[in-house]
């Protein structure tokens, strides 16, 4: 039976951006199924004790930018440390991810494009036109996906994902949960890979 990874994230998270493609490659190499679970990060933070960026001490804010810069270089990704549209509301983008998965479509590339739109392309991912353009570029049914994303059913799933993240003790975004074991942060992908590679009983 192939392993299953619950992927807790939000489309506005810089560290999700930095690790997204490497994570999907890692999961693919292990034959793991990825369950995309976008969350409302404020709810996760309220449970884990983390603070929104503006409320953190200056030294932590400065170190966060340094880490983003370092990891972007390591991952070979373009990044703007202070995007024009951050913070912004990732709700529509997150719900589109859920809608795509519910429709049986793999949302991985959509997530990558949305993350890059914010962190490398100076686009506002709260703008429906930006999301629509990404969906069209990927030859997805933009009207259908956005309509589904705005439905009560998808909104309920978004809330449920957030509640499940709290129940799982998720600390922030991204978090990868494999067999109940959490790997928090894109800098833990290598540890996740080693766990996926380990034989039962090791």
User: What confidence tens digit (pLDDT) does each residue in 1-24 have?
Assistant: 899 999 999 999 999 999 999 999
Q: What is the pLDDT of residue 202?
A: 42
Question: Above 90 in pLDDT, residue 201?
Answer: no
Question: Does 191 map to a domain?
Answer: yes
For residues 174-188, average pLDDT: 97
Structure confidence at residue 199 as a pLDDT band (50, 70, 90): low
| Residue 25 host element (H or E) | helix 14-29
Per the listing, tokens 């560290």 go with 15
User: What confidence tens digit (pLDDT) does each residue in 25-72 have?
Assistant: 999 999 999 999 999 999 999 999 999 998 999 999 999 999 999 999
Query: Which 8-state DSSP code applies to residue 78?
Result: -
User: Tokens standing for 179?
Assistant: 């067999």
For residues 184-195, average pLDDT: 98
User: Tokens standing for 202?
Assistant: 């090791």
Question: Does 186 map to a domain?
Answer: yes
Question: Does 202 map to a domain?
Answer: no
Q: What is the pLDDT of residue 95?
A: 98
Question: Does 123 map to a domain?
Answer: yes
Question: Does 96 map to a domain?
Answer: yes
- C-alpha gyration radius of the chain: 16
User: What confidence tens digit (pLDDT) does each residue in 88-129 have?
Assistant: 999 999 999 999 999 999 999 999 999 999 999 999 999 999
Other C-beta atoms closer than 10 Å to the C-beta of 132 total 17
For residues 77-98, average pLDDT: 97
Question: Does 22 map to a domain?
Answer: yes
Question: Above 60 in pLDDT, residue 200?
Answer: no
Burial class (CB in 10 A: 0-12, 13-18, 19+), 176: buried
Percentage of the chain surpassing pLDDT 90? Answer: 96
How many Å apart are CA 161 and CA 179, to the nearest integer?
17
How many Å apart are CA 199 and CA 88, to the nearest integer?
42
Domain CATH for 117: 3.40.30.10
* Owning domain of residue 154: 4-197
Angle at 18 between CA 55 and CA 92, to 5 degrees: 70
Question: What is the number of structural domains in the chain?
Answer: 1
């Amino acid at each position: 039976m192939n392993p299953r990874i619950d992927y807790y994230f939000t489309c506005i998270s810089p560290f999700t951006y930095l690790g997204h493609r490497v994570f999907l490659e890692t999961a693919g190499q292990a034959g793991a199924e990825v369950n995309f679970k976008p969350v409302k990060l404020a709810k996760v933070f309220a449970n884990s004790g983390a603070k929104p960026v503006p409320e953190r001490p200056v030294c932590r804010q400065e170190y966060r930018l340094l880490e983003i810069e370092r990891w972007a270089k390591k991952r070979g990704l373009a990044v703007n440390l202070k995007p024009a549209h951050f913070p912004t509301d990732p709700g529509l983008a997150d719900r589109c991810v859920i809608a795509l998965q519910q429709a049986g479509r793999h949302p991985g590339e959509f997530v990558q494009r949305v993350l890059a739109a914010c962190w490398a392309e100076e686009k506002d991912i709260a703008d429906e036109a930006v999301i629509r353009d990404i969906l069209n570029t990927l030859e997805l049914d933009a009207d259908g996906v956005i309509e589904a994303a705005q439905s009560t059913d998808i909104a309920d799933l978004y809330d449920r994902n957030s509640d499940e993240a709290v129940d799982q003790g998720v600390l922030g975004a991204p978090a990868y949960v494999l067999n109940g074991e959490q790997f928090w942060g894109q800098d833990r992908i290598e540890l996740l890979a080693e766990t996926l590679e380990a034989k039962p009983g090791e």
